[in-house]
Structure 1
């Protein structure tokens, strides 16, 4: 058994390794992905400074908020992928190149977002005819599919391998496919219809699509994005925002891996959590619950409903999901308590 050590001694993820020479030894860190994450971290820092010193706004938010959010998301996901590719697995040459494609296209895509922010204009869906925007739209046209395909193939390769213990495998595989789903859902934004919006200098520019779905459909080229926004995220409070399911899907892998770490830590205090089978079952419940959450926020957004204003149908669906997850956790708990109680009686 090999062990990946987290900062705290309780946080250990164990996985079986094949004999030397089989090509399944632990790999070095994926440098292109780490470089990607480092560059994204620098962009976040620069964007935070920009938000403090640059007063320009786009749709009611700082021009630097978008590169900050994208930089943070890519930094986190890049480190996550680099860690996954370090685990023993077959096909490492292919996965290394896929990780490199993800790293390079990610830098290109987010780099254009930063350039457009500096110019005080929009990156996504911008129909302006100036050369910088036209080149950037071509970058998106090739870069976004590159990110999606690289992640899709990585998920397919990882899915049939035993990278780690069962709870971690469930988190990794489900998380990668949730990320694929989240990326795919981003394409739905392209069907929201055109809108006319103002750049930071006050001039009007056309966007071929946006993030917001208005109940009953958009009217003409009327602006939909930015009419009302939640704090920090700036998700719409006047319509359904497709960025929400996009976000939930992309970051499912981090949520599930954190759940693995938390359950491992709690196992030292709660006997019923000490078996891998129980923790794996809880991860299964977590995956079902998170997938249900993704489905719920997607359904809500497609109906033009803000996250902050759920209707009775959304509330009922959320309550049913909570009951389902609670019932699953309870069933695993009751089943896990029996062997733990039996072991305790035997020891006495």
Structure 2
């Protein structure tokens, strides 16, 4: 069943080069003609180009900030924004082609994400932190602009939820997959505001006229340690970047699920399974936030949280197997 779906989602092209057959799979999500005029698609392409262009800088520019190469952060953000752009344009083009606010939403998401990555990259080039940095007037302005732009980005992201809610022509399981993905991503974004709140010791310094940092991603006492490779997430104390990232990018899992469900005629069991998956993943994200606020790393064993994650992941794995094994009838055409 999975392989039949795989061949529906991908087109195989075979090339004969230097005596070797090369097989290339092209994703059948949208045709180029469908999205070549979409701002969010070109935003994704720009982020992809920027990501690739910055990779050599990691090796050429050995400067570090807080023990991490300066270019790692803009690479992470451009990659994240690129993935978001490509997945969101699929939603807008595939399901909301006639939505009157589609173009405005794309433009808003493109402009705000561009502002974000330009400032992050510029600060990296200057050897300065982009987030939580209030050590000078310029750094305060940068941090303020970034906070404003990402807030606007979040509002326009949430705006996509409402027209999806109104879509009655698509299958319920497909619509709920999209809604769960968009909603949990919105929750993942708002988690970032926990990080912007100044800590008591920072407020105390500010009252003395000393401005250095305002907020931070670390929660708990002690050193955060070396962190995970590339991501830099702490394995010692709470790090709010983990639930923030998880919430934002589990959205793509739900979109893949929606693309899979599009191929088949809906069943009552599919709707139930999708709903349970959404509840479990949102619960997991909320638990991550609570654990982080309590000062415990998600990557360190905790007697309450770690077994809970294990149980949720086991249930999700079982539900995934069940979803792929449910007898299906091909849906020849879906009109949305």
For each residue in 1:81-130, what CA deviation from the matched residue of structure 2 results, as whole angstroms up to 9, or x when unmatched? Answer: 11111124376221220121011110011110000011111001111225
What's 2:266 paired with?
276
Q: Is the 8 A contact 2:113 2:153 kept in 1?
A: yes
Question: Take 2:301 and 2:66, find their aligned partners in 1: how far apart are those partners?
Answer: 24
Pick closer, same or farther for the CA change 1:164–1:59 going to 2, 3 Å. farther
Please point out which of 98, 110, 121 is paired with 2:105: 98
Alignment of 1:172-211 (within 5 A): 172-191=178-197, 193=199, 206-211=212-217
What's 1:321 paired with?
312
1:149 and 2:173 aligned? no
Question: Take 2:50 and 2:200, find their aligned partners in 1: how far apart are those partners?
Answer: 29
What's 2:89 paired with?
82
Q: Is the 8 A contact 1:29 1:86 kept in 2?
A: no
Please point out which of 107, 125, 130 is paired with 1:118: 125
Answer with 277-286 or 143-152: which moved more: 277-286
Pick closer, same or farther for the CA change 1:70–1:332 going to 2, 3 Å. closer
What's 2:233 paired with?
235
Shift in Å at residue 296 of structure 1?
2.4
Question: Take 1:35 and 1:27, find their aligned partners in 2: how far apart are those partners?
Answer: 13
Aligned positions, number: 299
Pick closer, same or farther for the CA change 1:163–1:210 going to 2, 3 Å. farther
What's 2:23 paired with?
none
Flag structure 1 segments of 5+ consecutive residues without an equivalent: 14-25, 197-203, 219-223, 268-273, 341-348
Question: Take 1:134 and 1:192, find their aligned partners in 2: how far apart are those partners?
Answer: 13
Question: Take 1:172 and 1:242, find their aligned partners in 2: how far apart are those partners?
Answer: 25
Pick closer, same or farther for the CA change 1:245–1:210 going to 2, 3 Å. same
Pick closer, same or farther for the CA change 1:118–1:195 going to 2, 3 Å. farther
Question: Take 1:297 and 1:117, find their aligned partners in 2: how far apart are those partners?
Answer: 29
Flag structure 2 segments of 5+ consecutive residues without an equivalent: 1-7, 13-26, 203-209, 330-336
What's 2:15 paired with?
none
Question: Take 1:330 and 1:73, find their aligned partners in 2: how far apart are those partners?
Answer: 28
CA RMSD, 1 decimal: 3.3
Q: Is the 8 A contact 1:125 1:208 kept in 2?
A: yes
For each residue in 1:221-253, what CA deviation from the matched residue of structure 2 results, as whole angstroms up to 9, or x when unmatched? Answer: xxx6x5431122110122111011111111122
Q: Is the 8 A contact 2:196 2:214 kept in 1?
A: yes
What's 2:301 paired with?
310
Alignment of 1:1-348 (within 5 A): 6-8=9-11, 31-89=38-96, 92-131=99-138, 133-162=139-168, 164-191=170-197, 193=199, 206-215=212-221, 227-261=225-259, 275-277=265-267, 278-322=269-313, 324-325=315-316, 336=326
Shift in Å at residue 303 of structure 1?
1.3
2:212 is paired with a residue whose SS is strand
Shift in Å at residue 206 of structure 1?
1.6
For each residue in 1:264-312, what CA deviation from the matched residue of structure 2 results, as whole angstroms up to 9, or x when unmatched? Answer: 7xx9xxxxxx652244443223222321221222222111111221211
Question: Take 1:326 and 1:7, find their aligned partners in 2: how far apart are those partners?
Answer: 24
Answer with 47-56 or 90-99: which moved more: 90-99
Question: Take 1:208 and 1:163, find their aligned partners in 2: how far apart are those partners?
Answer: 47
Q: Is the 8 A contact 1:29 1:82 kept in 2?
A: no
Q: Is the 8 A contact 1:192 1:212 kept in 2?
A: no
TM norm structure 2: 0.77
